[in-house]
Structure 1
Amino acid sequence: MSLRYGRPLVMIPGPSVIPDRVLNAIHRPIPNIYEGEVVGLTYSLLERLPALARTQHRAYIAISNGHGAWEMAITNTLSRGDKVLVLEVGHFATSWAEMAAQSGVKFEVLHAPERAAIEPDAVTERLRADIGREFAAVLVAQTDTASSVHNDLAAIRRAMDEADHPALLMADCVASLGCEPFEMDAWGVDVTVAGSQKGLMVPPGLGMVWVSPKAWEAHQRADLRTAYWDWTRRTDPEAHYWIFCGTPPVQHLWGLAEALDMIDEEGLDNVWERHRVMAGAIHAAVDAWSVPVGLGPAGLELNVAEPAHRSNSVTMVRTGEVSAQQLRATCESEAGLTLGLSIHGNPDAGLRIGHMGHLNPPMLLGTLGTIEAALTALAAPMGGSGVAAAALAIAKSTTPAAKPSGGADDPGN
Structure 2
Amino acid sequence: MPGRTHLYVPGPTNIPDSILSAMHVPMEDHRRPDFPELIQPLLEDLKKIFQTKSGQCFIFPATGTAGWEIALTNTLSPGDKVLAYRFGQFSHLWIDMARRLGFDVEYEEVPWGEGVPLDRLEARLKADTKHEIKALLICHNETATGVTSDLAGVRKALDAANHPAMFFVDGVSSIASIDFRMDEWGIDIGLAGSQKGFMLPAGLALLCFSQKALEARHTAKSRRCFLDIQDHITNNASGYFPYTPSIPLLYGLRKAIDLLLEEGLQNVFARHQRLAEGVRRAVKAWGLELCARDPKWYSNTVSAIVVPQGYDARDVMHYAYHRYNLSLGAGLSEVAGKVFRIGHLGDLNELMLCSAIAGAEMAMRDVGIQVTPGSGVAAACEYWRETAPAVKPR
Q: Give yes or no for TM over 0.5.
A: yes
What's the secondary structure of 2:208's corresponding residue? strand
**Residue equivalent to 1:317:** 305
| Mapped contact 1:317–1:351 kept (Cα < 8 A) | yes
* One-letter identity of the residue aligned with 2:267: N
3-state SS of 1:55 partner: coil
CA contact (8 A) 2:118 2:153 kept: yes
How many residue pairs match? The answer is 391
Deviations 1:15-36 (A, max 9, x none): 1111111111111110121114
Is contact 1:92–1:141 with CA below 8 Å preserved after alignment? Answer: yes
- Does the 8 Å CA contact 2:191/2:207 hold for their aligned counterparts? yes
Deviation at 1:114, TM superposition (A): 4.6
Correspondence for 1:394: 384
Q: Which amino acid aligns with 2:347?
A: H
- Determine the structure 2 residue equivalent to 1:351: 340
1:282 counterpart = 2:279 = yes
1:39-54 to 2 correspondences below 5 Å: 39-54=36-51
Partner of 1:137: 135
Query: Residue 329 of structure 2: SS of its match in structure 1?
Result: strand
Counterpart code for 1:269: Q
Q: Is the 8 A contact 2:112 2:145 kept in 1?
A: no
Please, which runs of 5 or more residues in structure 1 have no aligned partner?
A: 291-299, 405-413
Alignment of 1:375-386 (within 5 A): 375-382=364-371, 385-386=375-376
Distance 1:160 1:122 in 2: 12
Is the deviation greater in 195-204 or in 103-112?
A: 103-112
CA-to-aligned-CA distance 1:27-67 (integer Å, 9 cap, x gap): 11101211144332111111111110101111011010101
Counterparts of residues 152-191 of structure 1 (less than 5 Å) = 152-191=150-189
Q: CA deviation at 1:174?
A: 0.3
2:235–2:241 CA contact under 8 A, matched in 1 = no
Q: Please state whether the residue corresponding to 1:252 is helix, strand or coil.
A: helix
> Cα deviations across residues 265-284 of structure 1 (Å, max 9, x unaligned)?
11111000000001101111
Give CA-to-partner distance per residue, 1:325-374, whole Å, 9 cap, x none.
11111111111110011104242221111111001011101110111122
1:259 aligns with 2:256: yes
SS of 1:86's equivalent in the other structure is strand
- CA distance in structure 2 between the aligned counterparts of 1:353 and 1:322, rounded to whole angstroms: 18
CA contact (8 A) 1:228 1:245 kept: no
Aligned residue for 1:185, secondary structure, equals: coil
Instruction: Say if 1:234 and 1:244, in contact at 8 Å, map to a contact too.
Output: yes
Residue of 62, 86, 89 corresponding to 1:88:
86
- Structure 2 distance, partners of 1:285, 1:336, is 20
- TM-align CA RMSD: 1.6
CA distance in 1, matches of 2:51, 2:141: 17
In structure 2, C-alpha distance between the alignment counterparts of 1:390 and 1:136, rounded to whole Å: 45
| 5+ residue gaps, structure 2 | none
Supply the distance in 1 between the matched residues of 2:12 and 2:98 (Cα, whole angstroms). Answer: 24
Query: Structure 2 matches for 1:185-224, cutoff 5 A?
Result: 185-224=183-222
Matching of residue 403 in structure 1 with residue 385 in structure 2: no
**Stretch moving more, 363-372 or 77-86:** 363-372
Alpha-carbon distance between aligned partners in 2 of 1:258 and 1:38, rounded to the nearest angstrom = 16
Name the TM-score, length of structure 2 as normaliser: 0.95
Runs of 4+ in 1 over 6 A off after TM superposition: none
Q: Confirm or deny: 8 A CA contact 2:40 2:236 kept in the other structure.
A: no
Residues 136-190 of structure 1: CA deviation (Å, up to 9, x unaligned): 0000111011111100000011011111111001000001011111111001111
How far, CA to CA, are the matches of 1:47 and 1:399 in structure 2? 32
Q: How far has the Cα of 1:71 moved from its partner?
A: 0.8
> What's the offset of the Cα at 1:78?
0.4
